[in-house]
Structure 1
């Protein structure tokens, strides 16, 4: 190999070396696509309409986040989570269920907050003119009164408290029919299968088949609060925290107000 060939080879080697260093600096690195996340929210049945309306509003700003809801009685949802069922967020219609999960260490610390409040009301089918107060429930013409199952449905727990505080529980207990969630109670009154029912004001608001007779005095039952928190077993804790934060934002609050929830 002569001197000219040797210099040429050295030149090629030097050029290749500098190209190897420079190319990563001048070649744009493709942006990493944001990963898709699916959040499972276990929520009280009374929140169904409001949360379903909130979902597309949230996804406008977070298109990579899919929200799936599991609606039911708060007590049943609590038991599902305790037994290991998947859930990223829990929203209860009462404090007791979230307290139980917190005491068992199943919540992400610092994520618990209150979403909204509600009122308990006595409803009847639109064509009913005989019932004008809670005390009319003792009348012999009233045969069935629908309410939630007190052991698992917060609306049923509140109804139980009201009937006992008013001193009429023993007189009406033989008439009581129980729903597995508050929407079943609403459906029983809408269909005429019950002469009256105790539901949340927000449930009555979405129906054109029932009317509110009276709201229960709040001194007769525990405060109706909807606490929410991120579940510790969630595989998407950062995304779940963001959605919980959004539920406390003005866009979400406006939807909750539209459906009759009380928000601060």
Structure 2
């Protein structure tokens, strides 16, 4: 226990305590503790820094913060300015890029052609793959592009009628066939188009209104007298590659796709080819768009597609080149 302090409190005439005197057990005998003098504050002060004994006034802190903000803005100005520089369309690092709208069935072949052509010329293809009907609408709506590549004669005719392609560049480049593919577990059950009538619970084709392969498929099934018998079992797909995926996964029993699509088939089985005359000829056409900002380079690529090198790539993916230039 500490001894009780014997400090005595003295008072001024006004009754307020002046100081405390006397012994303090913690400070020793005769220790005197003075009250600190009351000082007037000349302005609001911020807390002192850990590393500095001096405190900043509000005015000083505001001025310092203003300088820091200014320095940060100066440092960021080049970065901010770069965000508002308009990029050159279809061109990066002085490399010309041809924006290409192509049917989904061309994906593998065009990716291979892109690699070969870029290595040869430095010009690169940037492809958007989808159903030809969807791509046609994009062209009509003004989507920037240089080339249109489609298996749909109707889509190409529509764009030419509207003046959206350069007619002189339109080329029927490839031929193809329509084939029947079935899921792995149905390979011994469905062996022909005729078997679709009573041995297939589900058959997938592309949506005829937007997918050329779907239009050819419906035409074939009508010609063979099967459409009315199986129409209620048809599963429509957004593009021909989706049909192939349905068959590969076993989600449908059968599907109608291009022969070239079977090069990408995983587990499905090709069982039959549509008879000649059961549908209109399947030709893949390419054309340069009137809105192209690289017409010269786009036309050069079209010429490359007719070359022996390109033809070899197309054949690898089971297309039939219609002509080859030397």
TM-score after normalising by structure 1: 0.84
Alignment pair present for 1:39 and 2:114: no
Q: Which residue of 2 aligns with 1:77?
A: 135
Q: Which residue of 2 aligns with 1:92?
A: 150
One of 222, 242, 252 as aligned partner of 2:280: 222
Alignment pair present for 1:48 and 2:48: no
One of 176, 179, 188 as aligned partner of 1:121: 179
Measured in 1, the distance between the counterparts of 2:177 and 2:263 equals 11
Shift of 1:145: 0.3
Structure whose alpha-carbon radius of gyration is higher: 2
- Listed as ranges, the gaps of 5+ residues in structure 1 are 1-33
1:124-163 aligned at under 5 Å gives the runs 124-128=182-186, 129-139=188-198, 141-163=199-221
Greater mean deviation of Cα atoms: 204-213 or 157-166: 204-213
Relative distance call for 1:109 and 1:168 in structure 2 (3 A) is closer
Measured in 1, the distance between the counterparts of 2:130 and 2:264 equals 17
How many residues in Structure 1 have an aligned counterpart in Structure 2?
Answer: 229
Alignment pair present for 1:254 and 2:312: yes
Relative distance call for 1:205 and 1:35 in structure 2 (3 A) is closer
Greater mean deviation of Cα atoms: 219-228 or 204-213: 204-213
Q: Matched residue of 1:219: which SS?
A: coil
2:145/2:289 contact within 8 Å kept: yes
More helix by share: 1
Measured in 2, the distance between the counterparts of 1:109 and 1:221 equals 26
1:61-76 aligned at under 5 Å gives the runs 61-63=120-122, 65-76=123-134
Shift of 1:87: 1.2
Shift of 1:126: 2.2
Alignment pair present for 1:112 and 2:170: yes
Shift of 1:143: 1.4
Measured in 2, the distance between the counterparts of 1:57 and 1:70 equals 18
Aligned-residue CA RMSD in angstroms? 1.2
Q: Matched residue of 1:37: which SS?
A: strand
Measured in 1, the distance between the counterparts of 2:272 and 2:167 equals 39
2:117/2:124 contact within 8 Å kept: no
Measured in 2, the distance between the counterparts of 1:238 and 1:117 equals 26
Q: Matched residue of 2:194: which SS?
A: helix
Measured in 1, the distance between the counterparts of 2:292 and 2:150 equals 17
Q: Which residue of 2 aligns with 1:101?
A: 159
Q: Which residue of 1 aligns with 2:235?
A: 177
Q: Larger RCO: Structure 1 or Structure 2 (Cα < 8 Å, ≥ 6 residues apart)?
A: 1
Measured in 2, the distance between the counterparts of 1:142 and 1:112 equals 40
Measured in 1, the distance between the counterparts of 2:254 and 2:226 equals 15
Q: Which residue of 1 aligns with 2:9?
A: none
Q: Deviations over 1:211-237 (max 9, x none)?
A: 111100120101000011000001111
Greater mean deviation of Cα atoms: 192-201 or 205-214: 205-214
2:184/2:250 contact within 8 Å kept: no
TM-score after normalising by structure 2: 0.69
1:15-34 aligned at under 5 Å gives the runs none
